[in-house]
Every structure is written in structure tokens, then in C-alpha cells.
Amino acid sequence: MPMTHIWRSRLRAFGLALTLAAMSPLAFSQRSGNDDFHDKLMQIGTGPSGGSFGPIGDTLCETMNRVRSSTLVRCVQFPSAGSVFNIYAVANGSLQLGFGQEDLVAEAAVNSNAKGGNLLRSVALFHNSPIGIMVRKASGITELSQITKGIVNKGNKGSGIFANATAVLNAMNLTERDFAGVTFLPPTEFERAFCEGRVDVIFNALAHPSDLYRRLRKCGGEFLDIPPDIMKKMMANSPHLRPMDIAAGMYDAQQGEVKTLGMRNVLVSNSEVDEEAIYRVAKLINSEYKKMQLKQPYLSSMKQMRQSDVNSLAVPLHPGAKRALQEVQP
């Protein structure tokens, strides 16, 4: 059965369960005038195994479900291919929420081929993700201009990894034909391929510190800087990319500071998702983000959204998130 039909079947099943629950005497007795809203089930697109969106999605759903008896909003994590998949699934209404790189959200919002791209709305800012380009020391590659000598992994299609790799290679005027070889492996597979010497160059974008990067360093991996001229081209193509560093000594004493680009990661929804439901989600995130940080190291760079952040967002705030933001103390 095609995946689209499977999602629809799941949504119908969840919708039926919620309808039956709402019809029970207990559900009616707990309702107040402000509890009659739609989208009480939130399916959230995360990412593939081995990435950061999965664990972050676990933390968010755990936070939401812990208080669902009072908010009436339930969270279900939907493992996916990553940013691109999530953004387009939210845009076309297949998912209610999804994590995405802000540069890719901006791209989808203006893409005439993206069904519903103009309906994308921001709910909350999450973590920063510097682009990590890592090479095997044994490959002899010491700078970005030399990567054509190796086998490069662009990541699974539909992921932010693939989009980031494509952005770097486009800025370098390189195509897949220019490399000794190209693979399209997700994190759980490219780690093994890298450590076994079957892949020489990998692209990733994770929050730090990352256990994956620690393991890749033990396999002989070295980070590469993105040269200033390539950074300039990439930022011209995508204004939501910004200079970021991977701090010296982040993974071991031998690792120096790495100059790269990165992006903010955003929780997005669709403008047609119920305002009250998004308000309750955004309000919870605004009040619980410090506790979420303590539970999930990937969220160490997460900050509470402020009014000053609104103008820099890739897409406008959802009306529900706007209501929640108005209640945040300055």
C-alpha cells in the first residue's frame, strides 16, 4: 500500500478514536467552553534513526503528553526522511507539525511546486545545527576543494543532510559526476560505511555535542572548514544560513575550531491547523523549554522565542503561536 494511503488510514483511525472519546460522558464532563477545538491529535514529523530530530521529537511528545489531560492535545511522533519530507508533509496537510531547517522552510514557502507552501507557519524555534563536513584522515583529503578525490555521501533524499550537501556542492560548481563515487545513505548506514572505509566524505547538520560525531572521530574522521568564498555563495543562495563554529576541543583535544555555516531549526505547522490547538502547543513549549533542554542535550542552543525574533522567521507565526508569544514575559 502506498505511504500516502497508510498515513490517511492512520489519521482516520486516530480521528475515529478521538471522536469516540469525545462522545463519552467523562469527556463531556471535563470540557469547558474553550475546549471545543479541532486537531487534538498532533502528528509531528521528525527524522531518520541516528539524527537529532528523532530524540528531540521524543522529548517534545513526552512533554506534551504528560499534560494532555489538561491541554487535550496529544502528540504522536512520525519518524520520517527528515526536514524536506516534514516541511512538504505539513504544507500539504499530511502532518500537523514538523521539524525543519529554517532555510528549507523558506525555500518551500516560495516554491510554486510546493503544494501548500504558502500555508506554512512557524510555531517555535528549536536548536541550531552547524553543517558538519567530515573526511576520513586516511583519504588524504585535508580541505574542501579536494573532496572530489573521495567517495562522498550526500545523505538520504528528503533529508536536510541531502539538501545541505547539495547546497555546498552547488556553491562549489560540482555535480555528482565529479566524484570518485556518491552514496545516499542515512545516518545509521553512513556511520558504518565511513568507519569501514567505504565512504570518505560525509555531510551532516546536528546540534552539538553529538555522540555520532564522537564515534566518527574515533574512526579517524576530521572536520573540514567551509572556505569564506563558498560561505558567501551559499548565503547568497539561502539568506537563512548563518556563520557558525564547532568549538575547538568539542570532541577531543586534537580538534581545532571549525568554521562552517548553520541554520536554526523550526517547528512548523499549517495555517489551517486549529488556532487553539497550536496556541496550547506553543504556550507549553514557551513555558517548558528549559526543562526540555535539561532532558535533551541536542536542545542546548534552544532559546525562548521573543517578539524580536518574529521579523527574522522564515515564515509568519501561526495565529495560535502569536497568541502564546504575547503571553511570554519580556
Q: Each residue of 156-211: pLDDT tens digit? A: 888 889 999 999 999 999 999 999 999 999 988 999 999 999 999 999 988 888 88
Quote the pLDDT of residue 264.
Answer: 93
Tally of domains within the chain: 2
| Residue 176 and residue 243 in one domain | yes
**14: pLDDT strictly greater than 80:** no
CATH code (residue 213): 3.40.190.10
How many CB atoms are located within 10 Å of the residue 102 CB?
27
| Residue 121 and residue 137 in one domain | no
Q: What is the residue range of 144's domain?
A: 129-263
**13: pLDDT strictly greater than 70:** no
**305: pLDDT strictly greater than 90:** no
Domain end residue (candidates: 243, 263, 283): 263
In this structure, of 33-37, 224-228, 264-268, 293-297, the range with the lowest mean pLDDT score is 33-37
Its pTM stands at 0.80
Domain end residue (candidates: 245, 263, 281): 263
Tell me the pLDDT band of 9, cut-offs 50, 70 and 90: very low
Over the chain, what is the mean pLDDT?
Answer: 88
| Residue 40 and residue 78 in one domain | yes
Quote the pLDDT of residue 253.
Answer: 83
**11: pLDDT strictly greater than 80:** no
Quote the pLDDT of residue 31.
Answer: 42
| Residue 37 and residue 93 in one domain | yes
Quote the pLDDT of residue 329.
Answer: 65
| Residue 164 and residue 268 in one domain | no
How many CB atoms are located within 10 Å of the residue 168 CB?
24
**52: pLDDT strictly greater than 70:** yes
| Residue 230 and residue 135 in one domain | yes
| Residue 109 and residue 221 in one domain | no
